[in-house]
A and B are shown apart, each in its own frame.
Chain A
Amino acid sequence: METRPKALLVDDDPDLLEVYRETFAALPSQPEIHTAPSGARAIAMLEAVPYRLLVTDLKMPKMDGLQLLSIVRRKFPELRTVVLTSMVDEQFRSRVYALGVDLYWHKPGTEPEMKQFMECLESLLGRESEPGFRGMQSKSLVDLVQLECISQSSSMLRVTNGPFIGSIWVNDGELIDAETEAARGEEAFQEILSWRTGNFEFLPPEPGRARTIFKSYNALLLETAQAFDEAGNTDNSANAMPGQAAGGDTNGLTTLSQHDGVEFVLRITAETKVDSRGLENPERLASWTRQSLERFRTLGEALQAGTLEQVTGLGGRRNVALAQKGHVALCVGWRQTFGAGEIRDRMRKILTLWGS
């Protein structure tokens, strides 16, 4: 078990590193501070020992901060990352946040700024990396719903999970309705509760909202938990797709191929095993998928533009979208009538489900 959180500070200036070390060691969580004079050294240290927090400068020789962050976000997605820089440039700030960095901070010049920065660092060090909803770390949606019902509250809980949005209505402690893009009532409630991470916000209640859920919240939560337990018994793989059966990928691919607009699905595992639905001869397409994803992943690192999200291709015979999650590559064929924007949105939804 980790006792003191570990923080890694990266800067090419040894004097600055020493200042960082002394300053950050005084944080209330008493982090174990390590330093690295270069991006390459930082990556080697991150590979050797798990860290909670990385603080890096942007301007460094050889591997700069953006390059370091591109690699770090891909290889260590759980690591909290902070950029501490003297650059006042909106584009760099946006790119840093686009990389998924937690905090971009202009190097503090006054004591109040320094104090504020230290408070932010302390907050990041204190966060657990367990699944949860931002705003109430390590609380599940079940906890949130129970809290609302037990306290006899009235509210609308809006939950977002990537491209998916769901809403749950509670009136006077009674669970009365739930809605997602595709479902309403109990089915929607169960779908929302299956999301492991995301954001939530409480909105004002809607007293006139029609009731579609008549079971007590306790009964519904129990049923949902049982459904998850049963699903968990048949799907323990981190890269499993929805509906994927234990020990085999057959059902997962079939489920994906049944999404609206999907014409075929092709999946390539780390061992270059190829599974597909709707394709007669998938080998050539699998090879193109692998090479294209690798090509554009490498290009993304050279451009410091962040982790490759997806590649779409439109052609006279087929429309496709490619994406990679962990060591698994996915190529999905989409209906010819879809444009690039629609394919991208639909692919994002499939990827979100795939990662849930």
Chain B
Amino acid sequence: MGLLSFFSKPARPLLQLHSGSFSLDRGGSVLATTLPSSFPPELIVEIGRCVVETFQAAHAAQLPLDELGVYYPGLTITARELRGGALVFLTTSTSSVSTHKLKTSDL
């Protein structure tokens, strides 16, 4: 068992994703958020920047959009255009993935 005790070491925090929402003005400044304070503020700003830039670039490409959906395996970002800014929703896809992937036939 001495050998197996090697397998543990002190924990360091990993980025935890959360479901929640936030709003941005047209300059990309965060106005309000329901995300927990543990979620890195710089990531909220980065998500907002990507969303606002995409809306603005779409408008410039003569493709005005009201809603964006960005789909990752672990997270969905939904954003609604709001007078040049945006209302952004984050939804983690925790539960549905775990039940599927833990089937032994998938291993």
Residues of A within 8 A of B (CB): 13, 15-16, 19, 23, 58-61, 64-66, 84, 86-87, 90-95, 97-100, 102-103, 107-111, 114, 120, 123, 134-135, 199, 284-285, 287-288, 291-292, 295-296, 299-300, 302-318, 320, 340, 344
Beta-carbon contact of A313 and B63 below 8 Å: yes
Interface size on B, residues (CB 8 A): 49
A23 to B53, CA, bound (A): 50
| Smallest Cβ-Cβ distance to B18: which chain A residue | A91
Beta-carbon contact of B6 and A94 below 8 Å: no
Task: Collect the chain B residues with CB atoms within 8 Å of residue A340's CB.
Answer: 67, 69, 78
Beta-carbon contact of A313 and B4 below 8 Å: no
- Which 10 pairs between the two chains have the least Cβ-Cβ distance? A306-B73, A98-B73, A107-B7, A97-B101, A305-B72, A305-B75, A312-B69, A315-B65, A288-B61, A94-B98
Task: Collect the chain A residues with CB atoms within 8 Å of residue B62's CB.
Answer: 284, 317
Task: Collect the chain B residues with CB atoms within 8 Å of residue A86's CB.
Answer: 7-9, 11
List 12 interface pairs A-B (beta carbons < 8 Å), by A numbering. A94-B93, A110-B4, A114-B4, A134-B105, A199-B105, A299-B70, A302-B43, A303-B75, A305-B72, A306-B72, A312-B68, A312-B71
| Candidates B4, B53, B60, B106; contact of A134 at CB < 8 Å | B106
Q: Add 4 more A-B contacts to A64-B15, A97-B97 (CB < 8 A).
A: A59-B14, A98-B73, A284-B61, A307-B72
| Candidates A60, A309, A317; contact of B71 at CB < 8 Å | A309
Beta-carbon contact of B72 and A303 below 8 Å: yes
Beta-carbon contact of B61 and A285 below 8 Å: yes
